[in-house]
Structure 1
Amino acid sequence: MSILLAVILPVFLVIGAGGLAARRGAISAAGVDGLMRFSQGIAIPCLLFKAMATLNLGQDFDVRLVATYYTGSLACFLIGTLAARRLFGRDWEDSVAIGFVALFSNSLLLGLPITERAFGSGSTSANFAIIAFHSPFCYAVGITAMEIARAHGHPPHSIPAKILRAIFSNALIVGILLGLIVNLAGLPIPTVADEALDMLIRAALPTALFGLGGVISRYRIEGDLPTILFTLALSLLLHPAIAWSLGSAFALPQDAFRSVVVTAAMAPGANAYLFAAMYGRAMRVAASCVLLGTALSILTAAGWLALLP
């Protein structure tokens, strides 16, 4: 209970405050959208830029860490896609959208603040190493699978261009790439620019969490309950279990092990719904998974944290 109160509950109270404000009309739908555009289009890219620019690549980047997290992520995508098709009778395009829900954990808005609150700000280097690959990997997998499912005679050579356009139009990915360029080139960040970045960074996670609550408040859990529960079991239980097993097998350092398990245990992120909406497939399942998964992760994340050293 102390873990729940001290670490997880404050994060979800901010999300809940955003949801309550949106429901009560204290902030309009346009205001919520503005907060999310600010946080995801400006503040969080600045956060990722600074993190990537100052990351010690030789010390913090570990192939074992990336392999541990993304093996579990890809396994959940494949199982979710095949189960949606074979077990729940969805067509291939719906199935890919459902698989994407199991693929895309909320590594940034939930995984990062929960890891920081649980283990301290110095314990999040592995989180940023995971986040650096998260959107590029997930969108590359999801878009590739969806475009193959949608091909129906279209030339396969058009698929790579669609994937690249979708990836490099994402502000989060642009922030990551620019930060890596600065890091690899050894370029200093001027003091004035660094202080301005820090001001934006301090606003990034609170505004994103508050805005996420406003976005979630728009959805209702409707229908397809077996599909929703199965997909959430992959996200909240199977993915962290795989991460725990592989992290133990690879003998990950303690901070990296904690980060990979916590990140894998997070609910599906809002991008899971955005991906479904982009293709107009399985949107109700995706929205319900984001809503119910975020609520359930209060309990499941507390359980995984209690098991961690």
Structure 2
Amino acid sequence: MQALIDVILPVFLVIGLGYALVWCKFLKDSAIDGLMKFAQNVAVPCLLFKALAEIDLTTGFDPKLLSSFYAGALTCFCLGLFGGRHVFGRTWEDSVAIGFCALFSNSLLLGLAITQQAYGTGDALAGNYAIIALHSPFCYGVGITVMELVRARGAGTSLARLPKTVLRAMFSNILIIAITLGFLFNLAGLNLPASFQSALDMIVRTALPVALFALGGILYRYRPEGDLRVIFFVCALALILHPAITFTLTAWSGVSDAGMRSAVVTSAMAPGVNAYVFASMYQRAQRVAASVVLIATGLTLFTAWFWLSILP
């Protein structure tokens, strides 16, 4: 109970405040959009750049940690894909979008915030940043590749353009650009001048609070609608199966306690807003994706409490 009160509840109170202020018309959608644009395009990229420019690559990027997390994510994607098609009778294109919802955990806004609140900063977050560095490239790479393959089936469409499509989609993302620059600074051993570093630190401190607040405002727009069986199927994959696989694999492979905490907490997070963005890119299963993001985010309040209670 103490973990719920001290660690998880503050994060969701910030989200809830954003939701409530939009609900009572105190803030307009345009204000929330501006805050989220600042968070996603400025503050969060600065956070990722700084973290990856300073992270110890020899300890943060543990192959056992990363393989445990992404094995769980890929398993959930496959189950979401084939479950959507063969259990719920959705089209292949809809099923890819459903699988993407089960694949894309909210590793940054929720996973990083809750891990930081529970275990502090510094080495406690090294595993989080390692997962985040690969998260968007991995998830979009898988999702776009499978969607393009599905769309091309039987249509005589050339697959020669597939690598270009995937790379263009990934490297037009400001978060991936920031991650790449952070890696380059790290590998080159570069440092920013003190004045630039201080300015960067000021922006970084706003990243998570502003993003969480804006996330609450954006969630107000979503309404639970569509096939509730599909929605709760995806919630079960994302909130129960993914962290269960990650927990089992990290324990079996001997990942450090700090690495296990980062991997399991991140895998236990609800699908991020990018799940809805992906569905909107292809105009597929949008109602399901929007509902999953909303409902699973609420359920994370309780599932995260459970996983925090059993972690070392």
- 1:194-231 Cα deviation digits (max 9, x unpaired): 11111110110011000000110001101300000011
Aligned equivalent of 2:216 = 213
The structural deviation recorded for 1:120 is: 1.1
Aligned equivalent of 1:278 = 281
Q: TM-score scaled by structure 2?
A: 0.98
Question: Can you give the 5+ residue segments of structure 1 that lack an aligned partner in the other structure?
Answer: none
- 1:227-285 Cα deviation digits (max 9, x unpaired): 00011100000000000110011100010001100000000000000000111000000
Aligned equivalent of 1:150 = 151
> Structure 1 CA distance, aligned partners of 2:140 and 2:95?
15
The structural deviation recorded for 1:26 is: 1.5
**AA paired with 1:243?**
T
- 1:1-29 Cα deviation digits (max 9, x unpaired): 11101000000000010011111122111
> Which structure 2 residues correspond to residues 44-193 of structure 1 after superposition, within 5 A?
44-122=44-122, 123-151=124-152, 152-193=155-196
**AA paired with 2:156?**
G
Q: TM-score scaled by structure 1?
A: 0.99
Which consecutive segments of 4 or more residues in structure 1 shift more than 6 A?
Answer: none
In terms of mean alpha carbon deviation, does 19-28 or 242-251 score higher?
19-28
**AA paired with 2:142?**
V
The structural deviation recorded for 1:68 is: 0.6
- 1:93-145 Cα deviation digits (max 9, x unpaired): 00000000000000000000100111111311110010000000000000001
Aligned equivalent of 2:299 = 296
- Residue 263 of structure 2 is aligned with which of 241, 260, 265? 260
The structural deviation recorded for 1:150 is: 1.0
- 1:155-182 Cα deviation digits (max 9, x unpaired): 1011111111110010110110000000
Aligned equivalent of 2:233 = 230
> Structure 2 CA distance, aligned partners of 1:138 and 1:223?
24
> Structure 2 CA distance, aligned partners of 1:60 and 1:171?
22
**AA paired with 2:32?**
V
The structural deviation recorded for 1:77 is: 0.2
Tell me whether 1:34 sits opposite 2:34 in the alignment: yes
In terms of mean alpha carbon deviation, does 56-65 or 103-112 score higher?
56-65
**AA paired with 2:49?**
F
Aligned length: 309
Aligned equivalent of 1:12 = 12
> Structure 1 CA distance, aligned partners of 2:36 and 2:228?
28
- Using the aligned pairs only, state the percent identity: 55
**AA paired with 1:302?**
W
**AA paired with 2:140?**
Y
CA RMSD of aligned residues (A): 0.7
> Structure 1 CA distance, aligned partners of 2:216 and 2:66?
29
> Structure 2 CA distance, aligned partners of 1:96 and 1:51?
32
**AA paired with 1:201?**
V
> Structure 1 CA distance, aligned partners of 2:60 and 2:212?
26
The structural deviation recorded for 1:31 is: 0.9
**AA paired with 1:265?**
A
In structure 1, the residue corresponding to 2:178 is in which secondary structure?
Answer: helix
